[in-house]
């Protein structure tokens, strides 16, 4: 039986207890995991491919069929794939490409009348590493969401690492997605050792500039520890959804959408913020009815019982304020005239408006990226996008006359900061005058 806790949003004590529980769910760094991953990183940095193979044997029990997947194996996976699956993937890729092409930014040059030239260059990263979970947790949609914007950004080479299946072979759906998205090279390696290999490079796996893609706690911890050696997309926590709903919403839809996140993980959080207690009752009944025929019922039940919640509000404005405070990864608005509320919803990874913009639409197909900030970090982080795979450089050109006009100000500021060599670097250019 799934019973979702009810919280009166006007009761400050209940509200504070809810937020404390949410913060505890996000969790502190697991010291045991951190120590284990730190040792893996050190060993791979020093030992290269031999260390990667050692950990693969230790954790998986056997080595994969090959280290790097041959190009003909990738091509065979696409040829042998279910045509309907390929068509669905191609349609999704086109939607994601169309959305992300609109994010492309161009550099600029600003030539001023006094001869000064200022500007900015934007270009894609040279090489990006994409981690894709394998085995039973294989998500070809993650390949699309990471590889497509990287290609649009102008990334020169995408290196994928993915764990092999139990038979030592690559997951065919992952290979199909990799081929369709233009991934350049695929290596059969998983876990923290694969992240370390991408960060430092080995004899076989190239060193990359940035690592993106989802993974378990060991993968996430490795990315966190290696940030600075390489760039990373984000430090992602458990998945979450918040549904804002009023009496006009269909409880059947709400229940289904809450469970679509709850099935990810026992730590996933599914929250309903509503102005209708009657709707909340109907949603809970629908959850129990629908859960009975869904395959991941046990995971959903634990997730909803532990981290599910119904927050009862007095008004739409109170619901908006709560949504902004929670800053969810996914935010659905199932209220009358939902687009009217969009301008007030400032903190969310991705917003889904109306009864037919169900969150899985965003996971697989609509076009916006499904790599989103979690655990309240939507207050200051943004979804993965084309900008995530670019770097910017500014440039400056000054004539002697332009620098002469500015030199007194620069020298004054430098001397006030006690940086006399800075001041001298400007003054020395005018010593002969």
Question: Active-site positions?
Answer: 329-330
Parallel/antiparallel/unpaired status of strands 240-245 and 330-334 = parallel
Separation of alpha carbons 104 and 119, rounded Å: 17
User: 325-341: string of b/e by CB count within 10 Å (b at 16+)?
Assistant: ebbbbbbbbbbeebeeb
Answer for the pair 189, 72: CB distance below 8 angstroms, yes or no: no
Separation of alpha carbons 319 and 107, rounded Å: 40
Report the candidate in 272, 270, 273 with the shortest Cα–Cα distance to residue 240.
Answer: 270
Answer for the pair 35, 226: CB distance below 8 angstroms, yes or no: no
**Chain centroid offset of residue 156 CA:** 21
6 by Cβ neighbours in 10 Å (0-12 / 13-18 / 19+) ranks as middle
Separation of alpha carbons 169 and 64, rounded Å: 6
In eight-state DSSP terms, residue 247 is T
Render 272-306 in DSSP notation, one character per residue: EEES-HHHHHHHHHHHHHHHTT-TTHHHHHHHHHH
Report the candidate in 38, 432, 386, 388 with the shortest Cα–Cα distance to residue 209.
Answer: 388
């Amino acid at each position: 039986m799934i019973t979702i806790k009810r919280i009166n949003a006007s009761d400050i004590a209940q509200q504070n207890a809810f937020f404390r529980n949410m913060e505890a769910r996000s969790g502190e760094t697991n010291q045991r995991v951190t120590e284990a991953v730190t040792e893996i990183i050190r060993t791979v940095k020093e030992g290269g491919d031999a260390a990667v193979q050692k950990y693969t044997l230790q954790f998986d029990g056997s080595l994969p069929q090959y280290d790097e997947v041959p190009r003909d194996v990738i091509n065979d996976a696409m040829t042998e794939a279910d045509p309907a699956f390929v068509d669905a993937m191609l349609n999704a890729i086109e939607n994601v490409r169309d959305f992300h092409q609109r994010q492309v930014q161009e550099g600029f040059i600003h030539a001023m009348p006094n001869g000064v030239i200022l500007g900015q260059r934007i270009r894609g990263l040279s090489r990006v590493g994409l981690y894709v979970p394998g085995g039973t947790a294989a998500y070809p949609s993650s390949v699309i969401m990471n590889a497509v914007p990287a290609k649009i950004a102008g990334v020169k080479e995408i290196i994928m690492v993915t764990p092999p299946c139990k038979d030592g072979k690559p997951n065919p759906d992952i290979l199909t997605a990799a081929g369709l998205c233009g991934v350049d090279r695929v290596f059969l390696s998983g876990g923290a050792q694969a992240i370390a290999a991408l960060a430092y490079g080995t004899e076989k796996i190239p060193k990359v500039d940035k690592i993106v893609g989802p993974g378990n706690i060991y993968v996430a911890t490795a990315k966190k520890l290696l940030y600075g050696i390489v760039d990373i997309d984000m430090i992602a926590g458990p998945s979450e959804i918040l549904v804002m709903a009023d009496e006009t919403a269909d409880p059947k839809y709400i229940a289904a959408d809450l469970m679509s996140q709850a099935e990810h993980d026992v730590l996933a959080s599914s929250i309903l913020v509503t102005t209708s207690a009657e709707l909340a009752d109907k949603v809970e009944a629908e959850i129990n009815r629908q859960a009975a025929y869904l395959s991941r019922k046990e995971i959903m039940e634990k997730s909803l019982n532990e981290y599910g919640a119904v927050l009862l509000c007095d008004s739409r404005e109170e619901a908006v304020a709560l949504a902004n405070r929670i800053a969810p990864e996914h935010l659905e608005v199932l209220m009358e005239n939902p687009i009217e509320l969009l301008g007030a919803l400032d903190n969310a990874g991705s917003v889904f408006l109306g009864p037919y913009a169900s969150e899985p639409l965003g996971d697989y197909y609509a076009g916006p990226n499904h790599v989103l900030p979690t655990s309240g970090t939507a207050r200051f982080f943004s979804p993965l996008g084309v900008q995530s795979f670019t770097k910017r450089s500014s440039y400056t050109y000054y004539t002697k006359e332009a620098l002469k006009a500015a030199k007194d100000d620069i020298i004054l500021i430098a001397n006030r900061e006690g940086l006399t060599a800075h001041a001298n670097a400007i003054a020395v250019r005018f010593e002969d005058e």
